[in-house]
């Protein structure tokens, strides 16, 4: 008796072929809807305001119609009639970079101490760090404002560096501590047998192995310092030359600012 004929299209085969077809279509669809707002923003920034008023829904622009006047206005200094965003970008870059360097320097040493050294309360200290990080920043705004005002430090970027380091340090110590605990102790003990001091062990063994975590933590701190608005508004609003990008962008959201400039 011959076996029954195999079905050419089984349910599994149909589902497999359908997934092969739908997967790239789905990815392309989500990429399109994610990138379209960014594309439209760039498109508006390269058009004249008169053209935007006439046809705001146009999603194409000719090569000859491209204009960089909006970017020129955004980057030009205030004395020349612009918005002065070059100064704001420099301030934000310096502020974020200084915050990253100081935070990583302190948090690396603190996280290593919590992960490797034995002291009273070692097991509970990470909960303390997290509890400090859970405090809403607005609770510290008024005390810090009063303190720095009495010290005459308002309007200076180093003030924000201090605030940002204090704000990001607890969570950075918590993040790096968890990674340092995954580094094998045997490697550090072998380095100590070879005559390395504790600091040499950290520099030559632990840090190279923890570079991915350090890079991720540094990027996390940089993004917080770059995008932070509350404390920048609180301490720098009276000194326009010290403004950051977030403060500069907030000043563009008025009715007098053309849409092309805002998109740029």
List domains and CATH numbers for the chain.
11-80 (no CATH), 85-263 (1.10.3720.10)
The pTM (predicted TM-score) of the whole model is 0.78
Instruction: Calculate mean pLDDT across residues 119-147.
Output: 77
pLDDT band at 94 (very low <50, low <70, confident <90, very high): very high
237 contacts: CB under 8 Å, gap ≥ 6: 243, 247
pLDDT of residue 181: 85
Provide the sign of the torsion angle of the four alpha carbons 21, 27, 31, 34, taken in this order.
Answer: positive
Q: What is the pLDDT of residues 1-44, one digit of tens each?
A: 555 555 556 677 777 787 788 888 888 889 988 888 888 888 88
Neighbours of 247 (CB within 10 A): 18
pLDDT of residue 255: 58
Q: What is the 3-state secondary structure (H, E, C) of 49-106?
A: HHHHHHCCCCCCCCHHHCCCHHHHHHHCCHHHCCCCHHHHHHHHHHHHHHHHHHHHHH
pLDDT of residue 122: 67
């Amino acid at each position: 008796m011959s076996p029954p004929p195999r079905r050419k299209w089984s349910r599994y085969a149909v589902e497999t072929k359908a997934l092969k077809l739908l997967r790239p279509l789905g990815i392309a669809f989500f990429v399109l809807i994610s990138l379209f707002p960014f594309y439209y923003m760039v498109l508006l920034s390269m058009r004249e305001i008169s053209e935007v008023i006439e046809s705001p829904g146009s999603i194409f622009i000719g090569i000859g119609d491209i204009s960089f006047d909006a970017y020129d206005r955004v980057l030009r200094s205030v004395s020349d009639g612009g918005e002065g965003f070059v100064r704001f970008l420099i301030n934000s870059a310096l502020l974020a970079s200084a915050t990253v360097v100081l935070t990583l320097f302190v948090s690396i040493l603190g996280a290593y101490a919590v992960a490797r050294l034995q002291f009273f309360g070692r097991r509970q200290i990470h909960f303390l760090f997290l509890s400090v990080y859970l405090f809403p920043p607005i609770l510290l705004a008024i005390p810090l404002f009063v303190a720095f005002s009495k010290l005459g430090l308002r309007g200076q970027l180093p003030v924000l560096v201090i605030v940002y380091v204090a704000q990001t340090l607890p969570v950075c110590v918590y993040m790096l501590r968890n990674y340092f605990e995954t580094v094998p102790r045997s490697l550090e003990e072998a380095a100590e047998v070879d005559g390395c001091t504790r600091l040499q062990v950290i520099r030559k063994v632990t840090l190279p192995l923890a570079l991915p975590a350090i890079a991720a933590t540094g990027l996390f701190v940089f993004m917080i310092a770059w995008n932070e608005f509350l404390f920048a508004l609180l301490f720098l609003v009276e000194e326009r030359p010290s403004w950051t990008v977030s403060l500069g962008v907030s000043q563009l959201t008025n009715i007098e600012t053309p849409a092309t400039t805002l998109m740029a």
